[in-house]
Amino acid sequence: MYSIIFFVYVDDGCFIGPNKDEIDQAFVDLKNPEIAKNEYDIEDRGDLADYLGINFAKLKGNKLKMTQPQLIDQVIEEVQGDHKGKFTPKSIPAVSSRLLHRDINAAHCKGNFRYRSVIGKFNYLEK
């Protein structure tokens, strides 16, 4: 019995678990048609660095940092439109306890972007 999890999305998969030896053995077992009751064409690509557009970085204390820079870059690209290079993302997250209001002194935004698409991507990132 294993104490690992195997995530699969279409044709991408990854193992996670507290014991690397168990992960290695599960991988070997999946490649063995007698044990797996099927023949799977899988390959080991080493430690998890990127899965479904999510980047993983190992931190101290067995912690993982997960980021989605590609999706963030897509949102910035979509919102900037003709203003490329004018806006840069900040590494400091917005304060979630402060309500944002319209800036009545700001210049009128002439941006032409797909509002629903951008908000959908923000909602996805937030989850």
Within 10 angstroms of residue 72's Cβ, the number of other Cβ atoms is: 14
List the beta bridge partners of residue 66. Answer: 56
Within 10 angstroms of residue 88's Cβ, the number of other Cβ atoms is: 6
Q: What angle do CA 95, 88, 52 make, to 5 degrees?
A: 80
Q: What is the pLDDT along the chain (127 residues), one digit of tens a residue?
A: 678 998 888 888 888 888 889 988 888 888 888 888 887 888 888 888 888 778 888 899 878 888 888 888 888 777 776 555 555 555 556 667 777 777 788 777 666 777 888 888 888 877 7
Token pair for residue 111?
Answer: 């941006």
Rounded to the nearest angstrom, the gap between the alpha carbon of residue 92 and the centroid of all alpha carbons in its chain is 18
pLDDT (0 to 100) of residue 84 = 57
